[in-house]
Chain A
Amino acid sequence: MTSSDPSVQLDHTPGHIKHDGHNLTGFVIFLCSESIIFLAFFAGFSLFKLTSPEWLPAGVDGLEVRMPLINTIVLVSSSFVAYFAERYLHKGNLWGFRIVWFITMLMGAYFVYGQYVEWSNLKFGLDSGVFGGTFYLLTGFHGLHVITGIGLMGLMLFHSFRPGNYEKGDMGVTSVSLFWHFVDVIWIILFFLIYVWQRY
């Protein structure tokens, strides 16, 4: 664009410059910041677990681990699947990317479904002391992130059908898969805190 051309000046839309590299930087900064909310919740959970005089609500003697364990395995493997999808994209195999990416989304959806089943079978609620509160807060907030992740992957899938979508870079696929790994790592910590720690 030459600045002396008045017609260009007229339909100048400020901020039209687009840089994929900035997006990734911004996104990484966002993830670092977001992880601190989880850290705050983890710290709160640990403090309550260690100091609360009455931890488990009456009539509840711990959480069932089998179902969350299956969920964990699905979510952790989905991170690897997402990685392969990204690899396909970088090799230029668009359909490979779309199919494997979609499988990642399905695995995420399975996780949400598993979470839903678990929640609906629990005998305590949000208002059952700090145990109930922290349990639903942590799993719920994480679940929201999973749902957001699936949504973002859907958006990326949708964009992949736009002609010439990847001319200027991968248009966010790296960011979204980074987000997915993040959600995955958070879940692993959460699983150890909530489900594994109760045995000790």
Chain B
Amino acid sequence: MTSTNFDPRILKAPHPVPGAPDNWKRFFSINTDAKVIGIQYIATSLLFLLVGGLLAMIVRGELITPEADLVDPTVYNGLYTMHGTVMLFLFLFPVLNGLNNLLIPTMIGAPDMAFPKLNAAAFWLVPVFAVLLMASFFVPGGPAQAGWWSYPPVSIQNPLGHFFNGQMLWLLAVALSGISSIFGAINFVTTIIRMRAPGMGFFKMPLYCWTAWGAQTIQLIGLPALTGGAIMLLFDLSFGTSFFKPEGGGDPVLYQHFFWFYSHPAVYVMVLPVFGIFSEVFTCYSRKPLFGYKFVALASFGIVFLSLIVWVHHMFYTGTPNWMRILFMFTTMTIAVPTGVKVFAWVATLWRGKLRLTTPMLFCLGGLVNFIFAGITGVMLGTVPIDIHVGNTYFVVAHFHYVIFNAIVLGVFAAVYHWFPKFTGHMYYEGLGKLHFALTFIGCTLNWLPLHWAGLLGMPRRVASYDPEFAIWNVIASVGAFLLGVAAIPFILNMVSSWARGPKAPPNPWGAIGLEWLLPSPPPAENFEDDVPTVLNNPYGYGLDQPQVADEAFYVRRAQEA
């Protein structure tokens, strides 16, 4: 269809709610629109990335010298505990839920989430438990100090005897975070199962949706176990039960089972959506179809299943019987298979592609390299003899930051840049974006690569002072950490100024395939409304003569004229 043909459906096209794109106040109100909630989630979580990052800077400031000189060792315990907790529960989970809110409905052609009110409730729980967690800095005794895993008996000491102590607030916050995540998960899964555009069978669904679906399935299966454990811990701490106290017939190791039954898979809750982001970004900027789409899609659920049966690898050195160690070492190794399938598919996709090195592409390439490295140290850690040697050292810390920051957070940044024009309606500044990438990549490599050595040499984690032989690694790491702090500046500058004054974004600035790119930028409140396209193919037909939807020209034109 040429653009001179008059198509009456153009008249019926959805228009943005009058005044809405400029109306910033809605982001500060209780709103049920998934696109508003998505941005609320992302903005809130980026704020807490700064808080968590600040705590990390203090920790790294302390570690720049071998002596415990900057902060008191007790304060140090509180700092890394709160750093880990803030990063996981107030940054990473919320930021991914934000992306889910923006991407799932638009990618599958749904007008909104299945349960908009539940969605708003899930979001507004975040500030509530954020306040609870932050309040713990101000109660007598300070915040929780038992590490982000809160193992008993350390976590149930309560030396000052106050009912409202840091650990208790921590447990309440984690329980509320669990409820919020469950609300979110019910919503995302229902939306994906029930609200896809006509013709969009599961095997035509974008991979981001597959991976988000897998991740949310883990939330539904795993989180209740953690919540159960947290409730029991709270009772032990505050109401005199002895579930985890040997003196009352309880068993502290049981808590570790509850905790890791969720918290190992939780890693996949965070990394799976990033696998989805990789799949979207690599195909778009290499202009090639995704290699082995079906296998990559199914591997997501392979990972979900396997992630649920490996948790004991975190307990190799906590009194686990030998047969269990061997069994879980074996299951841990098998998870490399579906993950390897994905890595192979991305590399094959990039192979001989015409790579466009935009900011999101750079973040994804960096993230992929780091992820492969982290996968190697991960397989090492899954091996019982190595883990017993390096467990609780900086090798573990370096490994999981390689996953969590160097791969996952880089992927999240990629997503923020890639979909920024779509949901704000403005282009970001490529130069600032690339500067942000360069600082981040150098910073995170300096920060965590050297710590592998410190760990292999035996530097224990969670201590404020260490043997002077490890000083050199720690100085490099701290420099890297401060560089990451500097990297926040171009990022914030870019986000704020681009949204306020960036050039207006066309509907599809990257020439990407996908339903979300057939919508105006920013999309109207109910996306496609009554005119949902009929999906013919998966959204990876780059370079193929295969339209994703029927009557694509109409949707392209409608988006441009909106």
Contacts and interface: CB of A to CB of B under 8 A. Distances in A.
Whether A and B are associated in the same complex: the answer reads: yes
Interface in A1-42: 2-4, 6, 9-10, 12-15, 17, 19, 21-23, 25-26, 29-30, 32-37, 39-41
Interface stretch (B44-52, B232-240, B386-394): B232-240
Nearest to B228: A40
A58 B222 CA distance: 36
12 contacts: A6-B18, A12-B17, A14-B112, A15-B112, A17-B111, A25-B190, A33-B221, A36-B222, A37-B227, A41-B228, A52-B250, A133-B235
A33 B312 CA distance: 22
Given A25-B190, A48-B251, A52-B251, 18 more contacts: A9-B15, A14-B526, A26-B115, A29-B186, A29-B190, A33-B221, A36-B222, A36-B224, A36-B225, A44-B243, A47-B254, A48-B249, A51-B251, A52-B249, A127-B248, A129-B248, A130-B250, A137-B231
B189 interface: yes
Interface string A40-76: 1100100110011111000000000000000000000
A134 interface: yes
Interface in B525-546: 525-526, 529-530
Contacts of A126: 235, 239-241
**Chain B: interface size category:** 35 or more
Contacts of B119: 15
A132 interface: yes
Nearest to A22: B114
B501 interface: no
B32 interface: yes
B235 A48 contact: no
Contacts of A29: 185-186, 189-190, 220
Interface string A125-147: 01101111110010000000000
Contacts of A19: 114, 194
Interface of A: 2-4, 6, 9-10, 12-15, 17, 19, 21-23, 25-26, 29-30, 32-37, 39-41, 44, 47-48, 51-55, 126-127, 129-134, 137
B229 interface: yes
Nearest to B111: A17
Contacts of B229: 40
Nearest to A127: B240
A10 B243 contact: no
Contact of B14 (A3, A13, A51): A3
Contacts of A3: 12-15, 529-530
Nearest to A32: B220
Contacts of A55: 249
B17 to A, nearest CB: 6
